[in-house]
Structure 1
Amino acid sequence: MRTLFALVLAGVWPAAWAQTPATNPMPDGSRDMYVGLGAVSAPRYQGAAQRRVTALPLLQVEWSNGVFISGMSAGMHLSTNPVLEYGPLVALQPRRSQSGSDSEWVGAPMAGFVGESVPPLSTTDPKTGPIRPSAVQPAEPSAQKRGGNRLGGTDAIGARLQGGAFFHYYLTPSLRITNNLLAGSGRDRHGATWTVGMQHVARTIAPHHTVLLSADLTLVNGSYNRSYFGVTEAESLRSGNDAYAPGGGLKDVAVAARWNWALSPSWMLGSAVRAARLQGDARRSPLVERPNNFTVSTGLAYRF
């Protein structure tokens, strides 16, 4: 039986990174489920230099009819061919605010020029007299503000429910090529991603210990890049970042490793590390502080 569970931390791993569970033949009417709690250390947003540690739930379930939930994604296995896996896929893309999280940044500046006080209703020139408010020129946002939070002054991007499909092909019983295609992200909901990867499904390194290895690359369309890496003219005025309108193409390349330790038939400790490097127009974005991103997570789950 193929290994089913590559535990996913819900809420932090973008849907394109999620490990779609391998087909797991089970008796009709049965299910396999893990529920637990984990912690993750990740950049505040893609390309951020600052990191944050967050406690998040673990969830992975598969039913005998092929339906599965894996973190913030869900789908259904439709193939009966042992070397092919395919089916529909839906996933939730979390909200991104000026803090990079899924909540509003407390104290975020209102519309205006970030880092500067609101211009007075009028001011006076000693020679010409009163000057109209529209003529007052605000100063450039400070370099400290631009470097301290490059998302400051940018528009929030709401949570998006994406739809698509997955297609995996097994080269060997433990090595598979993975494809996840999702659409519906970004400000206008027209963002699309295609993640292609190679995954070693499971390798037993010691009794009760398995390691899963993967490498992938993600291609995106222009709408996705403009939403998450672009800067509009209005955002440029508020944030101090240069206006930027990226196109589509290769967004990043990544490698990952997951270690599962079966503490007992019911308890599992899962840990993961992922290293990704932004590419192309995404890497050149003024919002990117560091092109190399590392995500580390660990969690304890109970099998029902």
Structure 2
Amino acid sequence: MRIRTAASALALLLATSLSAAAADAVYAPYDPAPAPLAPAANDYGDTDFVFELGISGIVSPEYLGSDEYQINPSPIISVEYLNLPGIGSFGGKDGLGLSIGPSFDYIGDRDASDYSELTGLDDLDATYELGLKAGYEWQNAEVYGAVRYAFGGADGFVGDIGANLIARPTERLVLKAGPTVSFASSDYMDSYFGVSARESVASGFRLGAYDPDGGFKSVGVAASARYEIFTDWFINADAKYDRLVGDAKDSPIVQAGDENQYFFGLGVSKRFSLDLW
């Protein structure tokens, strides 16, 4: 596997942060209910909307199925609590319970001329994914899921589900780990893993023609840590391993790259509280 210097540096920083259990934390993409700083922080009073904004640096494969890595900035957006008059509330004021919020992802463009193993394939524009995520968190466990619609370079639906065990060693530190599964529609899979007959010819038949179906895209495991450095300010970090499966794994594109995909992230975020009604 070839990993760029910046990616290696961030991965090393992540490993160091996780080993220093009180100094670092992980941004969990499905972490809508962070641990409160103190019992008094659980009482939002007349607050109707509690959300979190931040920025993270993410190390990820240069394209789906690649064995080369890149580092890019990524926003952190999380909704912890929302009260809607006449409808009800979502999320628990103690940081537990049901949460519903936005889910999004961004995949950069894929320029075949940048990678010798993709010679002959058409270029892909950047893909934008927008949707919803929902989760339910208990004191020591959570389940979550997300569905997004993709447009741009790829069209179709993509999503993931998972579960975590949760440890709270201190009032400020939350650790999570558990399995994940992702899925995608046939249109989405064809964009990233398919090879048309014309593309196969253009590659000199090095990449065989391939038409994948929709279904499970990957299985993996994710771990996260999250530390409240000051009231409502957090250091977030996460690490994830995905193994492409099914029609994604069998793609000639993946066979020329790597079915094992790694992700690392480190960022900072702030919680905001608003009285809307």
TM-score band by shorter chain is 0.5 to 0.7
What is the distance in 1 between the residues matched to 2:98 and 2:219?
A: 23
**Structure 2 residue aligned with 1:195:** 160
What is the distance in 2 between the residues matched to 1:267 and 1:157?
A: 35
**Structure 2 residue aligned with 1:19:** 30
Alpha-carbon distance, 1:94 to partner: 3.1
Question: SS at the partner of 1:244?
Answer: coil
1:150 aligns with 2:121: no
What is the distance in 1 between the residues matched to 2:260 and 2:221?
A: 12
Q: Which of the residues 72, 77, 98 maps onto 2:111?
A: 98
**Structure 2 residue aligned with 1:175:** 141
**Contact 1:266–1:303 (8 Å) recurs in 2:** yes
**Structure 2 residue aligned with 1:38:** 56
Say if 1:199 and 1:185 are closer, same or farther in 2 by CA, change over 3 A. farther
Question: 5+ unaligned residues in a row in structure 1: which ranges?
Answer: 9-17, 68-76, 100-107, 110-144
**Contact 1:40–1:296 (8 Å) recurs in 2:** yes
Q: Which of the residues 111, 124, 127 maps onto 1:159?
A: 127
Q: Which of the residues 252, 263, 275 maps onto 1:286?
A: 252
2:107 alignment partner AA: P
Q: Which of the residues 171, 179, 183 maps onto 1:219?
A: 183
Q: Give matches, 1:201-240, under 5 Å.
A: 202-206=166-170, 208-240=172-204
Say if 1:66 and 1:227 are closer, same or farther in 2 by CA, change over 3 A. farther
Question: SS at the partner of 2:191?
Answer: helix
Larger radius of gyration: 1
1:59 alignment partner AA: I
**Contact 2:101–2:134 (8 Å) recurs in 1:** no
Q: Which of the residues 263, 266, 270 maps onto 1:298?
A: 266
Say if 1:214 and 1:263 are closer, same or farther in 2 by CA, change over 3 A. same
Q: How many residues align?
A: 232
**Structure 2 residue aligned with 1:73:** none
Question: SS at the partner of 1:231?
Answer: coil
**TM-score, scaled to structure 2:** 0.68
Say if 1:284 and 1:213 are closer, same or farther in 2 by CA, change over 3 A. same
**Structure 1 residue aligned with 2:223:** 257
Alpha-carbon distance, 1:224 to partner: 1.7
Say if 1:182 and 1:196 are closer, same or farther in 2 by CA, change over 3 A. same
**Which structure shows the bigger proportion of residues in helix conformation?**
2
Question: SS at the partner of 1:235?
Answer: helix
Alpha-carbon distance, 1:281 to partner: 0.8
Say if 1:264 and 1:221 are closer, same or farther in 2 by CA, change over 3 A. same
What is the distance in 1 between the residues matched to 2:185 and 2:99?
A: 23
Question: SS at the partner of 2:168?
Answer: strand
1:62 aligns with 2:79: yes
What is the distance in 2 between the residues matched to 1:236 and 1:286?
A: 10
Alpha-carbon distance, 1:159 to partner: 2.6
Alpha-carbon distance, 1:22 to partner: 3.6
1:60 alignment partner AA: I
Say if 1:265 and 1:85 are closer, same or farther in 2 by CA, change over 3 A. closer
Question: SS at the partner of 2:118?
Answer: coil
Alpha-carbon distance, 1:229 to partner: 0.7
1:7 aligns with 2:27: yes
Say if 1:49 and 1:197 are closer, same or farther in 2 by CA, change over 3 A. same
List per-residue Cα deviations over 1:4-33 (Å, max 9, x = no partner).
x9636xxxxxxxxx3151498744445445
What is the distance in 2 between the residues matched to 1:247 and 1:26?
A: 47
Alpha-carbon distance, 1:267 to partner: 3.5
Say if 1:53 and 1:152 are closer, same or farther in 2 by CA, change over 3 A. farther
| Higher-RCO chain (CA-CA 8 Å, sequence separation at least 6) | 2
Q: Which of the residues 70, 85, 102 maps onto 2:98?
A: 85
List per-residue Cα deviations over 1:116-148 (Å, max 9, x = no partner).
xxxxxxxxxxxxxxxxxxxxxxxxxxxxx7xx3
Alpha-carbon distance, 1:79 to partner: 4.9
Alpha-carbon distance, 1:253 to partner: 0.4
What is the distance in 2 between the residues matched to 1:88 and 1:270?
A: 18
**Structure 2 residue aligned with 1:11:** none
List per-residue Cα deviations over 1:95-119 (Å, max 9, x = no partner).
43226xxxxxxxx48xxxxxxxxxx
Question: 5+ unaligned residues in a row in structure 2: which ranges?
Answer: 1-24, 35-41, 273-277
What is the distance in 1 between the residues matched to 2:123 and 2:176?
A: 37
2:141 alignment partner AA: L
